[in-house]
Structure 1
Amino acid sequence: MSNPSKAKGTSWESAFVAYLREHHNPGAHRNVQMGAKDIGDVAGYYLHAVEAKAEKTITLATYIEQANRESVHAQQPFGCAVVKRRMKGTADGYVVRDVRTDVRLMNRLRDMEEALRAAAPAAYALIDRQHREAA
């Protein structure tokens, strides 16, 4: 690849996909770019359109605007930017979204947890314990 910036971005996307495949979703993959109707850089991050960024100068507002626009195109309820942290590994990168999106996500999580707790208390307790131990 003759463009070093593009190579850096591709490397970050690939590293993020590998991390997702190991820790979240084995079916995660890089998306083909769609131009004006782009659906994000990575598919397989549950409920999210992902805009992956590995740049020296970080411009969060631009990243979030792009991720939110792409979430509509991808028919996902949430958009986020996954930003590489300089001199750190993939797990130390940043997942960034605006407050509006984060509150919608937290409301959904709260509502789903309350529904599961009411419908299947034993299953809720097991899942809750597993996630607390993994932290």
Structure 2
Amino acid sequence: MANPSKVKGTAWESLFTGYLREHHNPAAHRNVQMGSRDIGDVAGYYLHAVEAKAEKTITLSDYIAQANREAVHAGQPFGCAVVKRRMKGVADGYVVRDVRTDVRLMNRLKIMEEALQDEAFDRWFDIDKELREAA
């Protein structure tokens, strides 16, 4: 009989990957585990190494440390943990980063938005309107 925790974790990775494929990146996929040089559980979440977790006891500090290590191994600028919320679907799970990583991400987003506003304001305006309506 397979390890029940492993089965649960694999199922969560698969569900999250399916959600990414439908809503973010059709090429998202689960990674092969690489031991001490692991590159995260799921590839295809833009600019991120993902550590997917579906555990009864949540230990955010461990998850974030692991995600940040795996981001370095994967050559990605950001690491995050995607944590299953009990009794809820994928869209209700949590994406977790440490504050340092989140501020770096927000700074990048801010700089890129300002650059797009400078170069193609109408395009930025249309994108902004579309994404505000989707929230």
Q: Aligned equivalents of 2:126 and 2:8: distance in 1? A: 40
How far is 1:125 from its partner? 0.6
Listed as ranges, the matches of 1:1-135 within 5 Å are: 2-135=2-135
Q: Which amino acid aligns with 1:28?
A: A
Q: Aligned equivalents of 1:58 and 1:8: distance in 2? A: 14
How far is 1:2 from its partner? 0.9
How far is 1:128 from its partner? 0.5
How far is 1:101 from its partner? 0.1
Q: Deviations over 1:6-56 (max 9, x none)?
A: 000000000000000000000000000011100000000000000000000
How far is 1:104 from its partner? 0.2
Question: Helix, strand or coil: the match of 1:81?
Answer: strand
Task: State TM-score, norm by structure 2.
Answer: 0.99
Q: Which amino acid aligns with 1:19?
A: Y
Q: Aligned equivalents of 2:2 and 2:113: distance in 1? A: 48
Question: Helix, strand or coil: the match of 1:56?
Answer: coil
Q: Aligned equivalents of 1:127 and 1:25: distance in 2? A: 18
Identity within the alignment, %? 79
Cα-Cα RMSD: 0.6
Q: Deviations over 1:62-109 (max 9, x none)?
A: 000000000000000000000000000000000000000000000000
Runs ≥4 in structure 1, deviation > 6 angstroms? none
Question: Helix, strand or coil: the match of 1:12?
Answer: helix
Q: Aligned equivalents of 1:117 and 1:131: distance in 2? A: 15
Q: Aligned equivalents of 1:78 and 1:98: distance in 2? A: 10
Question: Helix, strand or coil: the match of 2:33?
Answer: coil
Question: Helix, strand or coil: the match of 1:73?
Answer: helix
Q: Which runs of 5+ in 2 are unaligned?
A: none
Question: Helix, strand or coil: the match of 2:39?
Answer: coil
